Structure 1
Amino acid sequence: MNRFDEEEQNILDSFEKGEWQSVKDEGRVKTLQSYAKATMAENQQVTLNLSSLDLGAIKAIALKKGISHENLISNILHDYVVSSSSNQL
């Protein structure tokens, strides 16, 4: 019995074929690590009141990036928290 689903097996096969490359940029590594940690953290719902102009601008930016406006807002807040935390150390 295979312990991986199809997507996981494809990733493992790709890795075993040597198709993955190590990231050498330490800043990029830290950014990706923070994204991974945030992904694994338990999500909680928050309600925000935004001006229609701000929300419209956020939706336009999200559309250009190919993500939902909710994900963009979450990413913006996460980046702010990470940068604020590292500045306080």
Structure 2
Amino acid sequence: MTKLNQEEQEIFDSYENDEWNSVKTSERITQLQSYAKATLAKDKNITLRLSSLDLEALQAKAIEEGIPYQTLISSILHKYVTGQLIDN
């Protein structure tokens, strides 16, 4: 299991203690679906030059994850620009 930081552990404990209440309404679901569509929309193409070694390594990682390598690259870039990419 991944080690949680203090904030993550507090959220996890709160969830485990049934301190969360559902806000499931049709309006909220519609709102969240529109957010998801906007976030996941891939509406731009780019050309990117990589070394063959980096590309081969990305393709190997993508195979391990069971996803296309373009999806992996897109995910890594998204995590980087949103501050979610964690350096181990």
Question: What aligned pairs does 1:1-89 form with structure 2 within 5 A after superposition?
Answer: 25=12, 36=36, 37-39=38-40, 41-83=41-83
Aligned mates of 2:42, 2:57 — CA distance in 1 = 28
Structure 2: which amino acid aligns with 1:67? I
- Using the size of structure 2 for normalisation, the TM-score is 0.51
Q: Which runs of 5+ in 2 are unaligned?
A: 1-10, 13-31
Number of residues paired by the alignment? Answer: 52
- Using the size of structure 1 for normalisation, the TM-score is 0.51
Aligned mates of 1:49, 1:60 — CA distance in 2 = 18
Aligned mates of 1:66, 1:74 — CA distance in 2 = 15
Deviation of the 1:42 alpha carbon: 4.8
Q: Larger % of helix: which?
A: 1
Identical pairs, percent: 46
Aligned mates of 1:80, 1:74 — CA distance in 2 = 10
Aligned mates of 2:46, 2:39 — CA distance in 1 = 16
Aligned mates of 1:79, 1:42 — CA distance in 2 = 15
